[in-house]
Chain A
Amino acid sequence: MKPKTLHTLSRWLGLFSMLLAIPLWTLIVHISGLPKFILPAPVDVWTRFLKAWVDGSLLYHTGVTLLEIVLGLFVGVSFATIAGYALAKSRTLESILSPYLVASQAIPVVAIAPLLVIWLGGGIASKVVICALIVFFPVLVNTIVGVRAVSASHYDLMNSLHATRWQIIWKLELPASLPVLLGGLRIGATLSVIGAIVGELVDAEQGLGFLLQLGDFQYDTSMVFVAVFMLVFLALGLYGVVTLLERRFLKWQQ
């Protein structure tokens, strides 16, 4: 019971310190006397948030970004797990492809984002691809590590029972490597938010990145803050989903 109380306590402390930031922030705005277009006060940001919420624009743009992230994650994770599985299973394939994979990591996705926007246009597609690319590598690496770590004696067990290839995948390799796979997804989820925003900042007519830029152009700094906060919430939300998955599927580990 004791560790649990401590746990709740520390959670409340976290919330409290976050709430403390608001008066502190207000204080800084008052003391410094900075104009609103440089540093808006929490109240201004809140008012701006309500306005954007009520006229529906905030929800719309958040929705677009979320869609890009979810699609990007899906595509990136799918390709990365399939490729990772193939690489984990074949040393030959790994030695053929690994130079390319390592080289591809030397290119920051941010640098090729404009290129992708030129090729795929300013719509959702380019953002999904940027997202997928940024997610790809960490998930790939974790898949390889996870699948390679499956114990040889578990394979022996499955083979002694004449398990089929699919049974080995579903009943051994997937559950055995799930902790590492979800670890990859955790990293990927956070990165995917960055991917979507990078794409939107290059060129977009919609999404939180677009809102951010619009606020910037119009000296509507409160809007920039609102967009940033929404991004933080999205990232936290995704992180939360992964944590829930871990709680649900990795009970045996805790």
Chain B
Amino acid sequence: MNLKPILSIQDLSVTYPDNNGGLHALEKLSFEVHPREFVCFLGPSGSGKTTFLRVLAGILAPTSGSVSFTPHHKPRVGMVFQQANLMPWRTVMENIMLPLELNGQVDSKAQNKAQEMIHLVGLDGFEDSLPRDLSGGMAQRVAIARALIHDPDLLLLDEPFASLDALTRERMWTELSRIWQAKQKTVIMVTHSINESLFLADRVMVLTQRPGKIKMDVEVDLPRPRTDDMRYTSHFGKLAKKLRSAIE
């Protein structure tokens, strides 16, 4: 991948104010992400992964360092949260349309687009359902559709499948892979699962304990599309072992 990076991060640090000198969540993170790259971040709890995504999404200002995007300054982001984070008063359709609505697009074109997204995540027939009537996996798929509908420059995923059972989770991996390949997005995903990262990512970065620093940066050179069987190959095992030793 020798394209120009879409995202470059320089000496990014975040310190949360507290009573004794501040809580260092992230310390001097530097790396680049290329267009259409799928990057996974692995790291222990509290290593600042969510903090990092919030900085990328523009929700949180970094304490020091810089985050720069090409071509835009303020990229369109689609974010999928750890919990589906749907608005319970909106139907599936209305939830998915939220990003368009905030851009002032509420015409039939927007409706069609939403319908298309619903189809992409396999929720046809659930347009008018309320979030309370969805299973965890369905809700998470709505969240993914919502994150994609406005054609974001960057897709940020914060442990999106952590709350799902193993079977649903693995089905979601396949779906996400498929969507990622169809939509050609740049994806940054946070996870706790080595398997998940190896199944999905082009590149896996491991963060240290707080304050988070990059401890390891591994290229995942497994062929695509990735299959279940791949998990039993020696190359997969080697990568998994490497990551595991870095996570400690």
Q: Which residue on chain B has the smallest CB distance to residue A155?
A: B59
Check if B102 sits within 8 Å of A167, measured CB to CB. Answer: yes
Q: Does A160 sit at the interface, judged by CB under 8 A?
A: yes
Q: Does B81 sit at the interface, judged by CB under 8 A?
A: yes
How distant is B191 from chain A, measured CB to nearest CB, in Å?
18
Check if B85 sits within 8 Å of A157, measured CB to CB. Answer: yes
Check if A156 sits within 8 Å of B89, measured CB to CB. Answer: no
Q: Which residue on chain B has the smallest CB distance to residue A168?
A: B102
The CA-CA distance from A151 to B130 in the complex, in Å, is 18
Number of interface residues of B (CB under 8 A): 23
Check if B101 sits within 8 Å of A157, measured CB to CB. Answer: no
Q: Does B58 sit at the interface, judged by CB under 8 A?
A: yes
Check if A252 sits within 8 Å of B89, measured CB to CB. Answer: yes
Q: Does B43 sit at the interface, judged by CB under 8 A?
A: no
Q: Does A247 sit at the interface, judged by CB under 8 A?
A: no
> Known: A159-B58, A160-B58. Contact between A176 and B89, CB under 8 A?
yes
Q: Which residues of A contact B78 (CB under 8 A)?
A: 160
Q: Which residue on chain A has the smallest CB distance to residue B81?
A: A153
Check if B89 sits within 8 Å of A162, measured CB to CB. Answer: no
> Known: A171-B98, A171-B101, A252-B88. Contact between A160 and B74, CB under 8 A?
no
How distant is A160 from chain B, measured CB to nearest CB, in Å?
4
Q: Which residue on chain A has the smallest CB distance to residue B131?
A: A252
Q: Which residues of B contact A156 (CB under 8 A)?
A: 54, 57, 59, 79, 81, 85
Interface bits A112-129 vs B (CB < 8 Å: 1, else 0): 000000000000000000
Q: Does B162 sit at the interface, judged by CB under 8 A?
A: no
The CA-CA distance from A80 to B87 in the complex, in Å, is 26
Q: Which residues of A contact B247 (CB under 8 A)?
A: none
How distant is A169 from chain B, measured CB to nearest CB, in Å?
13
How distant is A170 from chain B, measured CB to nearest CB, in Å?
11
Identify B79's interface contact among A160, A175, A176, CB under 8 A: A160
Q: Does A161 sit at the interface, judged by CB under 8 A?
A: yes
Q: Which residues of A contact B101 (CB under 8 A)?
A: 171
How distant is B105 from chain A, measured CB to nearest CB, in Å?
12
Q: Does B48 sit at the interface, judged by CB under 8 A?
A: no
Identify A175's interface contact among B58, B59, B89, CB under 8 A: B89
Q: Which residue on chain A has the smallest CB distance to residue B147?
A: A160
Q: Hey, which bits of chain A sit against chain B, CB under 8 A?
A: 151, 153-154, 156-163, 167, 171-172, 175-176, 178, 252-253
12 contacts between A and B (CB under 8 A): A156-B85, A158-B102, A159-B57, A159-B58, A160-B57, A161-B77, A161-B98, A171-B101, A171-B102, A176-B87, A252-B88, A252-B132
